[in-house]
Amino acid sequence: MSLAQDRYPELQQYRKSIDNIDAALVFLLAERFKITKEVGYYKREHNLPPGDPEREERQIARLRELAASAGLDPEFSGKFLQFITREVIRHHEQIRGDG
């Protein structure tokens, strides 16, 4: 047991909440990637490019707005979605046989 657990039970509760949220994020990302994998197969089948820059820009703008309304840094949110989008495109390239 760590010092924080012994002396700071409130901190331990916060950390437990964070751990639960982190687990939920992992499962949400896994679900998102299952769907984007299907999108990759669809794009391959219909000879569509792995990326869609216009949609990506719209999604980033939308996420930044959502972040601002939720009290989250919009810049961070945009970077987070860009990171995810790059990974999705990489997966789509692999599905196509380009990567």
Mean pLDDT score, 58-78: 97
> What's the pLDDT tens digit per position in 45-57?
999 999 999 999 9
Query: What pLDDT does residue 2 have?
Result: 64
Number of domains in the chain: 1
Q: What is the pTM of this model?
A: 0.83
- Residues of the chain with pLDDT > 90, as a percent, come to 90
Q: What is the pLDDT of residue 99?
A: 63
Domain that holds residue 72: 3-96
3-state SS string for the chain:
CCHHHHHCHHHHHHHHHHHHHHHHHHHHHHHHHHHHHHHHHHHHHCCCCCCCHHHHHHHHHHHHHHHHHHCCCHHHHHHHHHHHHHHHHHHHHHHHCCC
Which CATH number goes with the domain that contains 66? 1.20.59.10
